[in-house]
Amino acid sequence: MASGHSSRFELSATDSAPALARRHTRTALSAWRVPEDTRTVAELLVSELVTNAVQHGSGGGGEPLALELERDGPLLHLRVSDSSGRPPVAVAPEESAESGRGLTIVAALSKEWGHRLLPGGGKTVWCELVTG
C-alpha cells in the first residue's frame, strides 16, 4: 500500500473554491491510487470543509485558503486552513434548511475530525479517512 504522499493547494475563498478543491483532491488521490469509494468520500468532505471556510472562516472575500492532503499508510488526512480564529461549530439545522449540514456530514463520514488554532492566527479544520 502506498504511503507518504502529500499535497498542498492554495486557493481564494470564493464561490469557485469548493469545485477547485474537489478537482485537486480527485487528481491527487487518483495519482496516489486511493480506492474510488474513498476518493468519492474525500471529495465530498473537502467540498464541505472548503465551503465552510468560504462561508464562515474567511468571510468569502477572496482571502487565501489552503487545502492539504496527506496519505500516511491507511490514513488519509484532509485539512483546510483559513484566516479566521473562530472555531467551527456543528449545528443542527432546521429540517427544511438548504444548508448548514457540512460539519455534520464531516463528522458522520470521517474517522475523526477537529480543528486547531494556528500560532500566527487562523485555524485548520481537519478530518481523517481510512483508505481501505
The predicted-structure confidence for 75-111, as pLDDT tens digits, reads as follows 999 999 999 988 887 666 555 545 556 888 899 999 9
Question: Domains of the chain by range and CATH?
Answer: 5-130 (3.30.565.10)
Average pLDDT over residues 110-126: 94
Where does 7-131 have alpha helices with state H? 17-31, 36-52, 102-109
* Position 127 pLDDT exceeds 70: yes
The three cell numbers of residue 36 are 474510488
* CA dist., res. 79 & res. 39, Å (int): 15
pLDDT in tens, 23-75: 999 999 999 999 999 999 999 999 999 999 998 876 556 789 999 999 999 99
* CA dist., res. 111 & res. 45, Å (int): 12
Q: Which residue has the higher pLDDT, 130 or 91?
A: 130
Cβ-based neighbour number of residue 77 at 10 Å: 15
| Alpha carbon separation from 80 to 76, 94, 96, 97 (Å, rounded) | 13, 26, 28, 25
Q: Which residue has the cell 498542498?
A: 8
**pTM, full prediction:** 0.88
Contact predicate 34/85, CB 8 Å: no
| Alpha carbon separation from 2 to 18, 74, 95, 103 (Å, rounded) | 27, 9, 41, 29
Residue 53 CA, distance from chain mean position:
9
